[in-house]
Amino acid sequence: MSGVPTPWKGYDDIVVGASITGHGRTITEADVLMYTALTTGFHQPIHTDLEYVRTRTGFAERLLPGPAIISYSIGLLGGTLVYRDITVAFAGLDNVRAKTPVFAGDTITPVATVASKRLTSNPERGLVTLSIEVKKATGETAMTYEYMLMVTVLS
């Protein structure tokens, strides 16, 4: 899809192979630090201690935690409103792969491709799998994962 994507009205509107590009977001130092402050498990020195990062990792800046990349990318895709009116529930997350780190100053943009869809045992529900690639402005892929949504079937 190019330009402003058309919101899906139901399961039948979803075409396997169709792509949606989310909005871009430039990550700030505050994003890195706020995420680590909000999630107790991410008080790791690679996210919080700049001197540790510079002397122990070879990186010049703190890394954005991987789960934050997922959170931001899902939010940036949701901001397109493509699946807002048909989403029933989050159904899963699979095959998460970090490809290259994200730092403050990097701009990320998620691209979702409809990988598959299937009906559930409930005739009013379907499952859609989106293959997500989070791209940096440099063209590098920061992360890939599969995001599954339960959606409404309007037949």
What CATH number should be reported for the domain holding residue 132? 3.10.129.10
**Mean pLDDT throughout 7-22?**
89
Domain assignment of residue 28, yes or no:
yes
Domain assignment of residue 25, yes or no:
yes
Domain assignment of residue 4, yes or no:
no
Q: Which domain holds residue 105?
A: 11-152
Domain assignment of residue 2, yes or no:
no
Amino acid at 123: P
User: Which one, of 69, 94, 96, 80, lies nearest residue 149 by Cα?
Assistant: 94
Domain assignment of residue 117, yes or no:
yes
Task: Report the share of the chain in percent with pLDDT over 70.
Answer: 94
Q: Is the backbone of residue 137 left (phi > 0), alpha (psi -120 to 50) or beta?
A: alpha
Domain assignment of residue 6, yes or no:
no
Domain assignment of residue 104, yes or no:
yes
* 74-132 pLDDT tens trace: 999 988 878 878 889 999 999 999 999 999 999 999 999 999 999 999 999 999 999 99
Number of domains in the chain: 1
The answer to whether the beta carbons of residues 129 and 146 sit under 8 Å apart is yes
